[in-house]
Structure 1
């Protein structure tokens, strides 16, 4: 009777300890906000708040220049950073395979051979000696042993710990895919921006060469006027200095062209070579009309937002995996095979047959600090993922708002610059005419020519910024990867 009472008390205590082991600490969980404004604060008329969205256009429809298309296609095949990312996707895919295999039984096939000589004055040796005397036979000494069989272990996924780990790995795999998509979007954007910069530099070089001719003609005129004593050597030197300054400028532009070409070649994953382009078309290029759609569409269109979303989902599952460590773990093991002390007896069945079956239920009871630390850390990582997701959404919205505003302001700036260039071109003709008739100083001619050159440069720069702004808003909306 006292023994029965003891066993009852022991069972009750074991049950209480098991229940206590399953208790998990409380967490402060932060949930993400998916709310975005209903519209963008500043938008041109072409970007009215409706569902039409330029991000839905494939990049070949958005960028119609065949030379630019060829560059992008080459980069999508050869760009080293993109190819590195593709291998990261393969690594993540293999991680999913590994996690999927963990909640299936592990079965191993093995063979073993060993030899053992036990001491006479040991428990095993003394026992075998008694057996030998009673049955009048002796065990081989030393004793050999040969085994062959299959052995299996399996952790029963009671709390879905292993399944959640597999799902988390799958979400991280999807996140790497979205990361690749975001890289494709950025790569196309970088190539288009550099390509438009190259066209603008070609245009500026043509402007410089044209101005060298104009300034050289003005220099010859000043020299003739000096010979007729209508001006001084100072005017000649000032005009000559301006011609040399402009000639020096063209070499600076040539270097920028080389560097921009090599930047495009680097993005395309190839060694330096000439970039095919129609530089004469720059002045006729018009920025593409942009439809921005609704801010809520960013959640589906932007690969970086989708990547942050997948990473957040994986972090949430990691918390569930960490929580499952507080609960009992059930493991099963089994084995079947043949064993004998000589190889010839392995086939003597059923005498040589062996098998085993076991199970264990283990739960953490004392000193769970390591499990708690992992649990709290997983929750902290999840909270980080929430903030990172919200930051990514906010950044995407601001990028679109900035670029939409830039498109509108650059359009007005280009119109003003075009009028400035027209006025200064007329000023150059007027100043030259007045200088010939001695009604204007040579400094007025110099200043007018310099201002005209700068205004043409600014006009080309503004056109380039307009084209790049459309590229940037296309990228900011999430276009290019589909």
Structure 2
């Protein structure tokens, strides 16, 4: 009769757990859209520059040395490497959750029961033969092994481990994306530094030209060919250009220190060849096809792995609605005298128990976790699509930028050439009193600005090739 009651009780419990598992709430799902255009507007070739190593792309030895040092010493990158180690340890922790946990236990104690208690009274009234009674106080010695194991019926623990693996891989891709950005930032700052050096050189040349012009105007004033106003205007022009020199020197200092910070060292001069700047030509870049972004861009692969991990999180949260089975076991020896501790089977003890539990009522916490996991999954879908779209737009923008900068540089080169000739002509006309001093000043100012703009355009061209390399996903391999 007792067995029948137990069987009926277990059957009712199983039916209740089955009913609980069948009432999992429905979710609104969203599928990811990874479709991209077949090609870029100005590119049809499948060759892709981003697949090459950064050492082959940045051939300047000074720049290569800076990048190499930064990849070893940059603090932010090293922090990210430790985050990868944390993610790797999370895998170990998750893996241990679905494997049996076994531990050893040893214990020793002493116990004296009070006489005026139920146990003490029973011992006092029990007729025990002399020398067979239990010792008082009662020692207790124990040595054994104990194990616990949650049987992963619904793959909840395995899915949690797989999600941890995906997040570890995601952190690796995050590190790769940081490397791409770090390489690009150092290259851009290096080219900016070269441009500032050349602008400083132009300013110093103009200071010399303007100073000579000022001396000529002073002589002409002594000859009563010009007034004091002309002298003051030329003098003001010289002072303005000298002031510009210190502004550029400050920008050089800040740019050098920005590079030093990225390299992970205290301020020091940056080795460079400023004269080589004018001979630098933008590298021809092959953009390939948009589908290659899914493979080349670390941020896209990171978003993809985060999405896969979020999907597994939903499965883990869903498994909480189902019953869980836990098994506990133990085996060892226990005795009140150490001499009897290893005597078998008298001192042998063992236990084995199974525990089947599942939620029945008040499942709000489980539902909230389930809904939150699904919301994060949908969020990951949108983030994945946004990352792909952003990558495509970055490449498209840089393709257009490179083309427009090339045309702009050609026109500005012609402008500089024309204004340089104008300086010579205006000075000759001024000496022969056929041109006003304002024409000379305006021509010098326009020539200085045009040369500055030409250097700025060259720097933008070089930066555009860096941004393009970065947008294609180059620099991390």
TM-score range, shorter chain: over 0.9
Superposition RMSD in Å? 1.7
1:195 paired to 2:195: no
Give TM-score scaled by structure 2 length: 0.96
- Map Cα deviations across residues 409-460 of structure 1 (whole Å, 9 max, x no partner): 1111111111110111111111111111111100000000000000000000
| Cross-structure match for 2:40 | 40
User: Could you list the per-position Cα deviations for residues 23-42 of structure 1 after superposition, in whole angstroms to 9, with x for gaps in the alignment?
Assistant: 2111111121111112224x
Distance 1:448 1:390, change over 3 A: same
| Alignment check: 8 A CA contact 1:128 1:139 kept | no
- Which residue in 1 is equivalent to 2:127? 133
User: 1:316 is matched with which residue: 311, 318, 336?
Assistant: 311
- The 1:381–1:66 alpha-carbon spacing in structure 2 relative to 1, beyond 3 Å, is same
Q: C-alpha distance in 1, partners of 2:308/2:213?
A: 70
Aligned to 2:62: 67
The alpha carbon displacement at 1:49 in A equals 1.7
Structure 1 position 52, deviation (Å): 0.6
Moved more, 84-93 or 329-338: 329-338
1:389-428 aligned within 5 A: 389-428=384-423
* Aligned mates of 1:10, 1:85 — CA distance in 2: 54
**Partner secondary structure for residue 289 of structure 1:** coil
| Correspondence list, 1:225-244, <5 A | 225-244=220-239
Structure-to-structure mapping, 1:91-102, within 5 angstroms: 91-102=86-97
Task: Give me the whole-angstrom Cα distance separating, in 1, the residues matched to 2:118 and 2:36.
Answer: 78
Alignment of 1:167-178 (within 5 A): 167-178=162-173
Measured against aligned partners, the alpha-carbon deviations of 1:110-146 in whole angstroms (never above 9, x if no partner) come to 111222233445443344345x315554222222211
Q: Which residue of 1 aligns with 2:379?
A: 384
1:290 aligns with 2:289: no
Question: Is 1:330 matched up with 2:364?
Answer: no
Per the alignment, residue 31 of structure 2 pairs with 31
Farther-moved stretch of structure 1 (337-346 vs 178-187): 337-346
How far off is 1:345 after superposition?
A: 2.0
**Of 351, 361, 365, which residue of structure 1 is paired with 2:346?**
351
Moved more, 23-32 or 444-453: 23-32
Deviation at 1:354, TM superposition (A): 1.2
1:223 aligns with 2:209: no
In 2, Cα distance between equivalents of 1:452 and 1:166: 66
Q: Aligned in 2, Cα 1:389/1:433: closer, same or farther, shift over 3 Å?
A: same
Whole-angstrom CA distance in 2 between matches of 1:394 and 1:28: 24
Matching residue within 164, 168, 190 for 2:159: 164
Is 213-222 or 437-446 further displaced after alignment? 213-222
Q: How many angstroms does 1:8 deviate by? A: 8.0
- Structure 1 residues 4 and 268, CA gap change in structure 2 (3 angstroms): closer
* Distance in structure 2 (CA, Å) of the matches to 1:75 and 1:340: 65
CA distance in 1, matches of 2:451, 2:198: 10
Give the superposition deviation at 1:6. 7.5
**In 2 relative to 1, CA 15–350 (structure 1 residues): closer, same or farther, beyond 3 Å?**
closer
- Deviation of the 1:300 alpha carbon: 0.7
Q: Which residue, out of 33, 45, 48, partners 1:50?
A: 45
Q: TM-score if structure 1 supplies the norm length?
A: 0.95
Structure 2: tracts of 5 or more residues without a match = none
The aligned residue for residue 175 of structure 2 is: 180
**Paired residues of 1:55 and 1:479 also in contact (CA < 8 A):** yes
Write the deviation string for residues 250-295 of structure 1: whole angstroms up to 9, x where unpaired.
1111111111111111100011111110100000100000111111
Residue 213 of structure 1 corresponds to which residue in structure 2? 208
3-state SS, counterpart of residue 51 of structure 1: coil
**SS at the partner of 1:347?**
coil
Q: Contact (CA 8 Å) 1:219, 1:239: kept in 2 or not? A: yes
The 5 A counterparts of 1:83-162 are: 83-130=78-125, 132-135=126-129, 137-162=132-157
The structural deviation recorded for 1:9 is 6.7
Aligned residue pairs, count: 475
C-alpha displacement of 1:350: 2.5
Q: Distance in 1 between matches of 2:71 and 2:5?
A: 74
Report how far residue 12 of structure 1 moved. 5.6
Change (3 A) 1:244 1:198: same
